[in-house]
Amino acid sequence: MQDSIKDFNENRCDTKEAALDLTICFLREMKQDEAADTLEDELVFIRQLKCNLKKKYQCVFEGIAKHGDSTLLNNIYTDLYITQGGIEQVNTEHETKRLNLTRMNQFKVLFILDGLDECRLPLNFDGNETWHDVSSPASLDVLLTNLIKGNLLPSALIWITTRPAAATKIPPDCIDLETEVRGFNDAQKEEYFKKRFTDENQASKIIDHVKQSKSLFIMCHIPVFCWISATVLQNILEEKKKYGLKNNQADDASKKLQESNTEDIPKTLTQMYTHFLRFQIVQSRRKYDGQYAPDISWDKDAIHSLGKLAFHQLERNNLIFYDTDLKACGIDIYKASVYSGMCTQIFKEETGIILGTMYCFVHLSIQEFIAALYAHLFLDINKKSVFVHESTEQKNKNETMIDMLKTAVDKALESDNGHLDLFLRFLLGLSLQSNQLLLQGLLTQQDAIDKSKKEIVQYIKQKLDGNLSPERSINLFYCLNELNDQTLVKEIQTHLSKGSLSSTDLSPAQWSALAFVLLTSEEELEEFDLQKFKKSDECLIRLSAVIKTSKRAL
């Protein structure tokens, strides 16, 4: 169905261009040369723009900025779904900023402000002076705010792309239309893996595994996460296959080892990203040093420097970094060895016209993971939490892991836009012994991990009984999932199976657990019937996230 719609749209564009060509010919015959010239200029520009866009964006380097083989987008990605009215994560690119038109003053100007969330300007809409004169110099912040408000070049069109967190920077009365570019739906997630792997059996195994963990399957709406999952799971399956070929005798010892390998397949978000990091380091050693040993030799200094950059920029809600940011964290931008393994895969750079070279992680989730890893590494080395600044009274006090984890929970809950939600999930996941074993040699094993886990689980449950927003509550359940604690979820599942939720008084934590269970259910919510639950204002508020994701609500 999607292919036929796509073909129809392409044919419609071809027909439109053919009609424009005929119109130009008729105008020439009618001696309407000025109108013909105007139309021809527009047609030439459209064709040139389409050609440039197709040439630039028909291929992609998955997860890599300048290295590796490019792949045709049509061979990997499915059609993206664009809707009007809401704002979700936006990932739109453009090609303009060379116009060879003889009558430029007859056309409207379109400004494309790509990535408002990457802008470090204050955008002081209330405090900046009103500016109308296009010929007088002004600061970039004044120009931007007045352009968006319509004071400057009022007839110009403006198209702004941003992540949701930065959308609130723009006053609502300056926005005429909102659209969202959503990631993959459930069917498209499967389609991605089928396109990615020519081996149907391998694709089927990977799809089955990802679907077993609902938190992983939900994250697969992000194309980059699909790429990470595909990279990790393909490597694990290939290693298992090699092991199987070397050990044909199915004795008890080999059976046990194969069972342990199955357990090593990542089931949580933290496990997936930890395996991904290990895989990149191993690949780097093989490529640059010729080392094929299964043991990892960690470059602690490089990871520490990169983690420092990731954490401090995440605290400031910055996704784009400059040379000065890298130097401040001890990263030598001229030494390729710093980037080997780590940065060639998870770090990319782009060259701006004015600002020079700009750096960012391939995806925000990778920055959040590296930042969480840095927090553990910092605690390991300094016996201090990354959240304790030099000016505080606690600077001389040694801190434990539980101190750091509790502070992180509090800071994530204080965030209005949830910019520390995923960081917190990674931070808690990395506190588990199973994940720290994967990082053996980089992190020192903590003595009281089991005790820390019990204490932080209890701390999170206490927070769930407070007055939290539905979004923060649901994230805390994802955090409990990373800690392998399912007690609250199982309580709600028992109530659901008994059908007693229409008469049961639930605590705030139980309401949040109910929302989490419904959101992570195996079945897609085609229709959500609110009448099955006890009628109350709290019920409506606590289940608002479920209502938003269901196609139809009663």
Min mean pLDDT across 125-134, 355-364, 402-411 is at 355-364
According to DSSP, residue 297 is labeled -
Residue range 107-120: mean pLDDT, rounded? 80
pTM for the whole structure = 0.74
Partner residues linked to 483 by β-bridges? none
Partner residues linked to 71 by β-bridges? 60
Residue range 503-513: mean pLDDT, rounded? 76
3-state secondary structure 185-251: CHHHHHHHHHHHCCCHHHHHHHHHHHHHCHHHHHHCCCHHHHHHHHHHHHHHHHHHHHHHHHCCCCC
Which pLDDT does position 94 carry in this prediction?
Answer: 35
User: Cβ–Cβ contacts within 10 Å for residue 542, how many?
Assistant: 24
Which pLDDT does position 448 carry in this prediction?
Answer: 57
Chain CA centroid to CA 132, Å: 38
pLDDT digit string, tens, across residues 292-349: 555 667 888 888 988 999 999 998 888 888 888 888 988 876 654 444 445 555 566 6
Which pLDDT does position 522 carry in this prediction?
Answer: 62
Residue range 134-141: mean pLDDT, rounded? 89
Residues of the chain above pLDDT 70, percent = 72
User: Cβ–Cβ contacts within 10 Å for residue 55, how many?
Assistant: 10
Tokens of 456: 């932080």
Min mean pLDDT across 211-215, 261-265, 357-361, 455-459 is at 261-265
Which pLDDT does position 361 carry in this prediction?
Answer: 82
How many CA atoms are closer than 13 Å to the CA of 14, on its beta-carbon side?
Answer: 6
Distance CA 395, CA 483 (A): 29
Min mean pLDDT across 210-224, 249-263, 308-322, 368-382 is at 249-263
Which pLDDT does position 255 carry in this prediction?
Answer: 45
Residue 67 has pLDDT above 80, yes or no: no
Helix or strand or coil: residue 159?
strand
Is pLDDT larger for residue 78 or for residue 144? Answer: 144
Chain CA centroid to CA 180, Å: 15
Which pLDDT does position 347 carry in this prediction?
Answer: 67
Distance CA 496, CA 551 (A): 21
Distance of CA 249 to CAs 238, 262, 317, Å? 19, 18, 54
**Predicted confidence band at 165 (pLDDT cuts at 50, 70, 90)?**
low
User: Cβ–Cβ contacts within 10 Å for residue 168, how many?
Assistant: 12
Distance CA 313, CA 318 (A): 5
Distance CA 312, CA 189 (A): 33
Is pLDDT larger for residue 331 or for residue 357? Answer: 331
Is pLDDT larger for residue 164 or for residue 98? Answer: 164
**Predicted confidence band at 98 (pLDDT cuts at 50, 70, 90)?**
very low
